[in-house]
Structure 1
């Protein structure tokens, strides 16, 4: 099925903001990438700030759906964390040219003046809440040692974001970093029987 013009604009905005950042990307560039008129971009999305938020939130919603599916049926809390991370990294790879918009439109990044940081933080609450749920489940089922749930969820998410930023936004060699990040988090969380959670 062919993309609508609105969908084409969102994809183009994700590419432009993801590659260039908020300041350097222009609405004119987005219109050119989407092969639509400048006025049509403004008609659908209003200001540049609104377009930036729409582009970031569209990517977030797609990722949220993927993560939700990945953690619906898990054998343990630790399995849930591993599936969450695997799905997150796979989604990143599938959307390499557009995913950086989500890194830029994030409470874990520098927020542009005029962007509603509280609204962005609320959108991102799913990412942390789902990790907290898996950590809580893992502590209850014994697969994860006894840890502070919210801080642990934030640390896991920080590891994910750091790996993605290193892969997509830096010149550093990062082959295998996603797999090693999953292994590192797993080693850090895993409960060792007979050691009283230590």
Structure 2
């Protein structure tokens, strides 16, 4: 692992555990076992480090989601695979994943962050869900639903489940599986369904 990668990983851990305000560049440097100056050299300000760490995690997750859904021809199955891949990735990176919750348009935005840049990065997640929903409506596996709202509702269910699992004291051992079941039931096109 390069020093730059070590810094990103350390930043993800620090910001995930302590939040933007609580984490310091010095803490990140100590976790990465590099000098404070090297962190500044690679990433400039604390805000830029925060965005770089969050965007690196987002890019890794997008790659996983794309791999999970790219070859699927059934829209409902593609959404199930998307959600499963998202939740599996969350569990694999449990000690760092919260940076995505903190560096997100679906959360409180830290002062000084470029909100448009963050929204643009996260639109990739919604766009892939819209693609899967559209595929499902066309193939008949998903009932006729508005694309944008449906994708946002699915993503809201995902984010809510992840937040509950990672950031709350509530017992949530089976929340990911139950969220997938809930979304599948809500989307599935059943004969005689009236859209309610």
Query: Paired residue for 1:29?
Result: 27
- The Cα of 1:74 is off from its aligned counterpart by 1.3
SS in 1 for 2:192: coil
In the TM superposition, structure 1's runs of 4+ consecutive aligned residues that sit over 2 Å from their partners are 194-198
Q: How does 1:81-92 map to 2 (within 5 A)?
A: 81-92=79-90
Distance 1:197 1:185 in 2: 15
How does 1:97-108 map onto structure 2 within 5 Å? 97-108=95-106
Hey, what's the Cα distance between the residues in 2 that align with 1:124 and 1:62? 13
Aligned counterpart, 1:53:
51
Query: Which residue of 147, 150, 168 maps to 1:149?
Result: 147
Hey, what's the Cα distance between the residues in 1 that align with 2:123 and 2:193? Answer: 33
Paired residues in the alignment total: 196
Normalising by structure 2, report the TM-score: 0.98
Query: Which runs of 5 or more residues in structure 1 are unaligned?
Result: none
RMSD, aligned α-carbons: 0.8
Which 5+ residue runs of structure 2 have no aligned equivalent?
none
Paired with 1:194 and 1:59, the residues of 2 have a C-alpha distance of 42
Equivalent-residue separation in structure 1 for 2:193 and 2:84 (angstroms): 28
Distance in 2, matches of 1:60 and 1:90, equals 14
Q: TM-score with structure 1 length normalisation? A: 0.97
- Asked if the contact 2:143/2:189 (under 8 Å) is kept, the reply is yes
> What aligned pairs does 1:1-198 form with structure 2 within 5 A after superposition?
3-195=1-193, 197=195
Query: In the aligned structure 2, how far is the partner of 1:89 from the partner of 1:186?
Result: 15
